[in-house]
Amino acid sequence: MAGAPDETHFGDQTVPLEDKQGLVDDVFHSVARRYDLMNDLMSAGLHRAWKDALVTAVNPPKHDAPFALLDLAGGTGDVALRVAEAGGPGTRVTVCDINTNMLAVGAERALERGLADRVTFEHGTAETLSYPDRSFDCATIAFGIRNVPRIERALAEAYRVLKLGGRFLCLEFSSVDVPGLEAIYDYYSFHVIPRVGQAVTGDREAYQYLVESIRKFPKPKAFARMLEQTGFRRVSFTQMTGGVVALHSGWKL
């Protein structure tokens, strides 16, 4: 049975929406240092190709023209650093994440790669961004939108802070669309990933939650409708790896 409008599911619990963000934050605090390693193990390295597709879609200018990207829920800097390296000297990336442990990891990586002057890490929530209207040329979120308690609010905020002509890109797990692959994917997700998470990070519960959150996320067409209802135009999505992930796109026109 579904919860009340102001409630949501977290694992096998029904919790108030305002409590979900704190619970999600606790999950990621526990795995911050090994989060990207787990991404490699869980996806057999495919997450790198998926993120490369996202960076290609961002298409930051290679010259010194100003280009401002907001990367939501991007704490470890994986996407942000890729975009900064792909763009020219005018490219600037702001990472906004609620998890301070993730942000600390990202800031360390930016410093190590000589990008600390072009990539900044700021604490914040996707539902209530502190940035002025029309501040960014592009906004991205990779594998983070499903953890936002009120997705509609996050989409509205992303739309607000984008400049006219700006683009929103969302990379997220999707629904497998290849016959026969779904059963294999489900077994791997529910039986293998939590065990690997326990072995690598010592936190099985965190990865059990991540698997469950993937299954509860809207199907690609339903999420595309959410983007359109927010005000985005030329909305589209591209499914990859048999539908395991989808790259969603919408423009502020």
| Spatial contact of 82 and 9, defined as CB atoms under 8 Å apart | no
pLDDT band at 211 (very low <50, low <70, confident <90, very high): confident
Is residue 125's pLDDT more than 50?
yes
Read off the pLDDT of each residue in 1-17 and give the average, rounded to a whole number.
46
Each domain of the chain, given as residue ranges in start order, spans 7-251
Read off the pLDDT of each residue in 9-23 and give the average, rounded to a whole number.
50
Task: For the beta carbon of residue 150, count every other beta carbon within 10 angstroms.
Answer: 18
Read off the pLDDT of each residue in 31-59 and give the average, rounded to a whole number.
78
What is the separation of C-alpha 103 from the centre of its chain, rounded to a whole number of angstroms? Answer: 14
pLDDT band at 248 (very low <50, low <70, confident <90, very high): very high
End-to-end CA distance of the chain: 39
pLDDT band at 47 (very low <50, low <70, confident <90, very high): confident
At 6 the pLDDT is: 60
pLDDT band at 35 (very low <50, low <70, confident <90, very high): low
Q: Token pair of 85, please? A: 């390296």
99 class by beta-carbon count within 10 Å (0-12 exposed, 13-18 middle, 19+ buried): buried
**Residue 41 CB contacts under 8 Å (≥ 6 apart), including other chains:** 196, 200
Cross-strand bridge partners of residue 236:
249
Is residue 210's pLDDT more than 60?
yes
The CATH number of the domain covering residues in 7-251: 3.40.50.150
Is residue 17's pLDDT more than 70?
no
The sign of the torsion formed by the CA atoms of 50, 56, 58, 64 equals: positive
Is residue 246's pLDDT more than 50?
yes
- Integer CA distances (angstroms), 46 to 12, 51, 59, 207, 253, in order: 29, 9, 20, 18, 32
Structure confidence by residue, pLDDT tens digits, 141-183? 999 898 888 999 999 999 999 999 999 999 998 888 777 777 7
Considering 97-101, 105-109, 174-178, 228-232, the range whose residues carry the highest mean pLDDT is: 228-232
Whole-number Å distance between alpha carbons of 77 and 90: 18
Is residue 19's pLDDT more than 60?
no
For the chain, give the mean pLDDT: 84
Whole-number Å distance between alpha carbons of 253 and 241: 30
Structure confidence by residue, pLDDT tens digits, 70-100? 999 998 999 999 999 999 999 999 999 998 9
Task: For the beta carbon of residue 83, count every other beta carbon within 10 angstroms.
Answer: 26
At 181 the pLDDT is: 72
At 29 the pLDDT is: 53
| Spatial contact of 245 and 171, defined as CB atoms under 8 Å apart | yes
DSSP 8-state symbol, 203: -
